[in-house]
Structure formats: structure tokens, C-alpha cells
């Protein structure tokens, strides 16, 4: 501004002071009160470099050709809003949450709200893209989430000084942190969410960049944006996601001196026909196509012009074709924002009554993840299927409750244990003293056995099977050795006299 004033004083020295002041006033208002007409985006987008390289790639060009050859009506949204789940990874440099590059949750929520308003055209005269973005409410394992992950990236080489790098780690002579290593600090499956990484810097001092949805870039796919641009007032997030959904800059193919080629608007420039070609710095008028429609490019979110805020119908069609035919289509079926669908659970089981009063229960419930058994004899279990031993003959009502995260079901069945095989339980039975416990399979058992009585020792495994049986000899202390090389685990030891349990305990084998 100082230089402008100096030149004006020199050029207008022969005019009156009043006229000089009028001209200065007009220039002041032009530059400072209407910055949106002349001011470019504060920090440029690195897709300038990425797209220049990609447009030399035959695979990439064929991919673009397939998108452009799609019928313009084939993938219309028909009034339905497509929802794209996103996750934001904050790769900070060690600051507390809410300071520096470790931006607050609130700032991220507001940035996403701003991007949605721009894409849905809630405050401008452009086109509603009928796409909106939701922060994931569930992580890939189904656990609740707010869609924000935080990782300290300060230990990565070059990250603090230069920021994240890309294209083999080299960008205009500046080497940032390795892109894949940096993104893998926090990187969710790309068919589950669209990944957004908030970083301290991007090597080369860019504001952001995003990958086109190509299968061979899938591991690094997503948007990268600097922390300072991740805010409601900035259109950078909406701009970068635009690249991620298949849109070029409106000035694509231009240079400082040359306009974008536009003989075939479907395959040249930004490959959208209702965004007239212009040079990057053209935000008021264009030497490329100075028509009334030029405002669709100057005001476009995919330009660098200040006050940008719209998309066009041509961009909407291209974006729709890209989402529904590329890897982006997987996101439309993601459960990241809704959670897994719940099927109705149905409880059921079958059973077989075996010897020694044991009953084998087989769980046949459907769409269930949690189970609660009640065997009618004050015994319960949460196992899926198991074998249970009854201590007395009789009729028992067995209930099974099965449930998932949405609903619950219960079934009851009657089981009869015949008296001929019943084992009576003595409620005054002793608690056995077993040592050492845990044991390697050999242990001592203290229990007083008289010379005129027969006491049986039974070893039962965790599923109720009888795995060893012997008669205790006369005396107060007994040495027991497990037979058949029993596997490690916990075993129930019970002593029986005249078909009554007179002692019980457990031993752990390691």
C-alpha cells in the first residue's frame, strides 16, 4: 500500500490535493473493503503438483476417460443425499489438546459443519451437491467413537521442521516426513471411512492436498490439511474433499501466461463444461473466457479466489459419477455412522442326558452374542454350550437367555434326572484341603478316611466330564497323582460315600 501511495503522489503531483485524496480513498476501499474480489487462497493446494504428475500417467488418464464417458443421467442422485463417513486424525507435535497443532474437538466439529454447509449450498447461489459428511460414530471394531483420533507425530524424522511429505518424500527440493509412515500413525480402513489427516505443516508450505480415488493409491488415500486451515471459516476442507471426490481446480492446465486448453471441455482443463477456463490468479475477469459465466469459476470452491463458495451442476455430475463408480462407492454402505444393523435374536438349545447325572447342552440360538443359563438347581453359566452335572434326581426347568446389542430372547425347557443315577449332595460336605495348589499333577489331600468306610475320589474337568476315579485308602492324608497326562486347567475334586458328596474342592494344574 505504501508503494501505491508513493506512485500516486508522483503521478498526480499536477492535480489538486482533493482529487488525490478521492483516488486514494477509492483504492483503499478496493483493496481493503472488497478483498474477496482480488485475494487468492491464503495457502495453495498441493494438488497443483499431484495432478500435474498424474496427468502424465496413462492409467490415470484412462480412469478419467471412463468417468467422463459415463452418461450424465446414469448416476443422478434423484434427490437422495449421499452420506460419506469420515474420520479425522490429528497428527500433532505434542501439545495439550486445544493448543497449537493439537486442535480441539470443537474446532474440528465446526470445520466439518462448514464443509457440509458449502457442499449442501446452504448460504450461496450454487448447486446443492446432495452429499454430506458425518464423523464416524463407531470405530472399525464397532466401539463408540466421536470420529477423532490423536497421535503425537513429533518423533517422525522431518515432521516438526518440514511437515508431511509426499510423492516419494520429495517436494520442490524439501523433504518432509515419510507420507506412508506418517499416515499409518492413525489410518482406518478406506472402505469404512474417508480419512482426513490434520498436520502441522505440509512440506513446501501448502495448505492441503487430497488423492483421487485410484486403487493403486489406496493405502495413502484421503485428505491432508494443515491445522490452521481446519476451521469453520475456511473453505480449504471443502476444497480438498472436492479433489478426493474427483474434482480438479477450475484453473487446471493453466500457467502464468497461458490459458487452459478448452477445445473439448469434457477432457481438457478441469473437465467440467460449466466452469469456464481461467488462469489461477484471475478472480475478477479472465483473458481466457471473459463471459458472464466466468463467475461460476471465480466463485467456485475449486478455485483459489477469495469468497469462493459454490459448486456447479457439471461438478455435481462428475462427483456423482466418481463416487458411484470408484472405490468411494464402498463408503455408501459403511456402518461407521450408523452402527451394525441389528437382527432379531432367537434363543434355543438342545440337550442330551448322559451318565453320572450329566447333561450336555448345545446352544442353537441365532444372531446372539451373549448368553445366560439357569439350570434350575441354583447353578448358572454364561458359556455358549456346556455340560452340567446335577447332584440330585428330579425335574428341572432350564432357561437360556440370548441377546445381542438390540434385543433379547428367552427359552425354557424341562429336564428330568432319573432317581437311579442320582448323586445326593451333602450340604455339610467338607471343603477339601489340597496342596500344593496350583500343582504339576501331583498333590496331597487331607481327609480322614476310617478303616470301615469306602470313599471314592472323582476328578471332573471344566465341562463336567469325569476324567479320573479312585478309592481313597485308610488314613488322614492322601497322595494323589493325575493319570492320563491331563491337560492344564482347573479340575473339580469331589469325595463320595454311599453316593453322597461328602467333600469338594478344586485344583489348578499347570
Spatial CB neighbours of 62, under 8 Å, sequence gap ≥ 6: none
Q: How confident is the model at residue 12 (pLDDT cuts 50, 70, 90)?
A: very low
Q: Which of 83-97, 247-261, 374-388, 462-476 has the highest mean pLDDT?
A: 83-97
pLDDT of 151 strictly over 90: yes
pLDDT digits (tens, 9 = 90+) for 308-346: 999 999 999 999 988 988 889 999 999 999 887 777 889
Checking 376-379 for CB contacts under 8 A at 24+ apart, the result is 376/415
Summary mean pLDDT of the chain = 82
Residue 456, pLDDT score: 93
DSSP string, 87-127: EEEEEESSPPTTBTTB--HHHHHHHHHHHHHHHTTSSSSS-
Task: Give dist(CA 48, CA 62) in Å, integer.
Answer: 20
Three-class secondary structure of residue 53 per DSSP: helix
Among residues 390, 417, 426, the alpha carbon closest in space to that of 499 is found at 426
Burial class (CB in 10 A: 0-12, 13-18, 19+), 172: exposed
Average pLDDT over residues 251-264: 89
Average pLDDT over residues 233-257: 92
CB–CB of 262/269 below 8 Å?
yes
Residue 427, pLDDT score: 53
The alpha-helical segments, DSSP class H, found in 163-201 are 179-183
Task: Give dist(CA 401, CA 379) in Å, integer.
Answer: 14
pLDDT of 14 strictly over 80: no
pLDDT of 497 strictly over 70: yes
Residue 350, pLDDT score: 93
Share of the chain above pLDDT 70, in %: 81
pLDDT of 16 strictly over 80: no
Question: Mind listing the domains of the chain with CATH numbers?
Answer: 2-33 (no CATH), 47-247+309-333 (3.40.390.10), 349-421 (2.60.40.10), 425-509 (2.60.40.3080)
Three-class secondary structure of residue 220 per DSSP: helix
Residue 4, pLDDT score: 34
Residue 19, pLDDT score: 37
Checking 263-270 for CB contacts under 8 A at 24+ apart, the result is 266/68, 267/64, 267/65, 267/68, 270/302
Q: How confident is the model at residue 170 (pLDDT cuts 50, 70, 90)?
A: low
Burial class (CB in 10 A: 0-12, 13-18, 19+), 140: middle
pLDDT of 200 strictly over 70: yes
Question: Beta-carbon neighbour count of residue 42 at 10 Å?
Answer: 12
Question: Beta-carbon neighbour count of residue 307 at 10 Å?
Answer: 15
Spatial CB neighbours of 507, under 8 Å, sequence gap ≥ 6: 434, 437, 438, 439, 443, 490, 491, 493
pLDDT of 348 strictly over 90: yes
Handedness of CA 16, 22, 25, 29 (dihedral sign): negative
Residue 391, pLDDT score: 84
pLDDT of 372 strictly over 90: yes
Q: How confident is the model at residue 197 (pLDDT cuts 50, 70, 90)?
A: very high
pLDDT digits (tens, 9 = 90+) for 68-102: 555 443 443 444 889 999 999 999 999 999 999 99
C-alpha cell at 494: 469331589
pLDDT of 112 strictly over 70: yes
CB–CB of 387/465 below 8 Å?
yes
Q: How confident is the model at residue 216 (pLDDT cuts 50, 70, 90)?
A: low
Task: Give dist(CA 183, CA 161) in Å, integer.
Answer: 17
Residue 75, pLDDT score: 40
Task: Give dist(CA 481, CA 441) in Å, integer.
Answer: 6
Three-class secondary structure of residue 459 per DSSP: strand
Q: How confident is the model at residue 1 (pLDDT cuts 50, 70, 90)?
A: very low
Residue 419, pLDDT score: 54
- Tell me the CA end-to-end span of the chain in Å, nearest whole number: 84
Q: Which of 136-140, 174-178, 480-484 has the highest mean pLDDT?
A: 136-140
Rg (CA), the chain: 37
Residue 378, pLDDT score: 86
pLDDT digits (tens, 9 = 90+) for 17-73: 433 333 333 333 333 333 333 334 446 887 777 776 666 666 666 666 665 555 443
pLDDT of 414 strictly over 50: yes
Average pLDDT over residues 156-161: 94
Amino acid at each position: 500500500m505504501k508503494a501505491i501511495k508513493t506512485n500516486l503522489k508522483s503521478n498526480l503531483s499536477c492535480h489538486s490535493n482533493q482529487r488525490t485524496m478521492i483516488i486514494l480513498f477509492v483504492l483503499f476501499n478496493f483493496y481493503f473493503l472488497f478483498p474477496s474480489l482480488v485475494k487468492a487462497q491464503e495457502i495453495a493446494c498441493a494438488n497443483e503438483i499431484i495432478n500435474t504428475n498424474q496427468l502424465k500417467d496413462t492409467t490415470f488418464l484412462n480412469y478419467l476417460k471412463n468417468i467422463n464417458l459415463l452418461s450424465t443421467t446414469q448416476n443422478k442422485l434423484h434427490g437422495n443425499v449421499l452420506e460419506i463417513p469420515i474420520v479425522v486424525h490429528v497428527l500433532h507435535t505434542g501439545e495439550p489438546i486445544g493448543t497449537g497443532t493439537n486442535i480441539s474437538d470443537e474446532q474440528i466439529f465446526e470445520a466439518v459443519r462448514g464443509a457440509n454447509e458449502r457442499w449442501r449450498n446452504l448460504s450461496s447461489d450454487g448447486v446443492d451437491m446432495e452429499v454430506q459428511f458425518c464423523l464416524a460414530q463407531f470405530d472399525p471394531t464397532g466401539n463408540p467413537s466421536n470420529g477423532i483420533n490423536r497421535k503425537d507425530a513429533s518423533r517422525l524424522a522431518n515432521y516438526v521442521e518440514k511437515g508431511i511429505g509426499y510423492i516419494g518424500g520429495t517436494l520442490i527440493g524439501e523433504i518432509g516426513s515419510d507420507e506412508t509412515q506418517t499416515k499409518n500413525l492413525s489410518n482406518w480402513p478406506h472402505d469404512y471411512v474417508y480419512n482426513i489427516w490434520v498436520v502441522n505443516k505440509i512440506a513446501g508450505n501448502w495448505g492441503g492436498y487430497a488423492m483421487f480415488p485410484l486403487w493403486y493409491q489406496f493405502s495413502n488415500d484421503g485428505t491432508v490439511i494443515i491445522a490452521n486451515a481446519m476451521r469453520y471459516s475456511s473453505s480449504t476442507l471443502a476444497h480438498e474433499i472436492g479433489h478426493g471426490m474427483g474434482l480438479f481446480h477450475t484453473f487446471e492446465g493453466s500457467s502464468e501466461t497461458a490459458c487452459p486448453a478448452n477445445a473439448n471441455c469434457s477432457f481438457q482443463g478441469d473437465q467440467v463444461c460449466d466452469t469456464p477456463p481461467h488462469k489461477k490468479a484471475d478472480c475478477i475477469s479472465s483473458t481466457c473466457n471473459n463471459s458472464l459465466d466466468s463467475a461460476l469459476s471465480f466463485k467456485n470452491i475449486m478455485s483459489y479466489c477469495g469468497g469462493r463458495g459454490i459448486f456447479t451442476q457439471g461438478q455435481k455430475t462428475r462427483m456423482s459419477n466418481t463416487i458411484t463408480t470408484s472405490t468411494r462407492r464402498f463408503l455408501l454402505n459403511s456402518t461407521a455412522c450408523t452402527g451394525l444393523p441389528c437382527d432379531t435374536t432367537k434363543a434355543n438349545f438342545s440337550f442330551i442326558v448322559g451318565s453320572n447325572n450329566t447333561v450336555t447342552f448345545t446352544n442353537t440360538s441365532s444372531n446372539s452374542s451373549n448368553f445366560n443359563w439357569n439350570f434350575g438347581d441354583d447353578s448358572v453359566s454364561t458359556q455358549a454350550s456346556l455340560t452340567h452335572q446335577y447332584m440330585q434326581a428330579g425335574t428341572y426347568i432350564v432357561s437360556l437367555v440370548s441377546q445381542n446389542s438390540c434385543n433379547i430372547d428367552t427359552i425354557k425347557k424341562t429336564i428330568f434326572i432319573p432317581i437311579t443315577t442320582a448323586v445326593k449332595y451333602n450340604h455339610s460336605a467338607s471343603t477339601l484341603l489340597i496342596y500344593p495348589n496350583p500343582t504339576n499333577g501331583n498333590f496331597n489331600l487331607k481327609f480322614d478316611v476310617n478303616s470301615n468306610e469306602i470313599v471314592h475320589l472323582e476328578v471332573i474337568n471344566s465341562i463336567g466330564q469325569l476324567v479320573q476315579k479312585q478309592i481313597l485308602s485308610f488314613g488322614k492324608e492322601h497322595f494323589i497323582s493325575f493319570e492320563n497326562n491331563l491337560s492344564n486347567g482347573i479340575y473339580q475334586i469331589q469325595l463320595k460315600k454311599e453316593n453322597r458328596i461328602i467333600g469338594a474342592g478344586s485344583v489348578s494344574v499347570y
